[in-house]
Amino acid sequence: MNQADIDSFREILRKMRQDILEQGEDTLEDMTGEREMYADPADRASAESDRAFTLRLRDRDRKLIKKIDEALERIEDGTYGECEDCGEDISKPRLKARPVTTLCIKCKSRQEQQEALHGD
Ligand SMILES: [Zn+2]
């Protein structure tokens, strides 16, 4: 991967991170703004489950941000784009589709097959 590729992936990752954080702020505003609107207990219950859903999403976002941070560290280390399993280069189309990936497509499919075998 050349320097221009590295720079463009760094930009993609920073943009992803920023988008998630901005969405997170919107979510927080929604959550505080809705509190007074539901006088009816049934409405309130559905608002509560919406909130649980939002919190789950945010948990997923937090995990994604961690992955993005790790990818940015790999960019600084010069190891970005290497498969952490076999050490080969991850293809650029794969990185573009999933910039936080740490596995090449071969290792990823092997991992998915193993997960399918073990259930879960
Ligand atoms: Zn691999």
**Percent of the chain, pLDDT > 90?**
60
The model's pLDDT over 76-91, given as tens digits with 9 standing for 90+, comes to 999 999 999 999 999 9
The model's pLDDT over 109-118, given as tens digits with 9 standing for 90+, comes to 999 999 998 8
Q: How far is the CA of 114 from the centre of ligand 1 (A)?
A: 15
For residue 98 the two structure tokens come to: 């999933």
Rounded CA-CA distance 28/76 in Å is: 32
Amino acid identity of residue 99, one-letter, is: P
Ion ligand 1 contact residues with beta carbon within 5 A? 83, 85-86, 104, 107
- Domain boundary assignment for the chain: 1-80, 82-120
1-80: which CATH number, 3.90.1530.10, 1.10.3720.10, 1.20.120.910, 3.30.530.20? 1.20.120.910
Confidence check: pLDDT of 35 > 60: no
Q: Is 17 annotated as a binding residue?
A: no
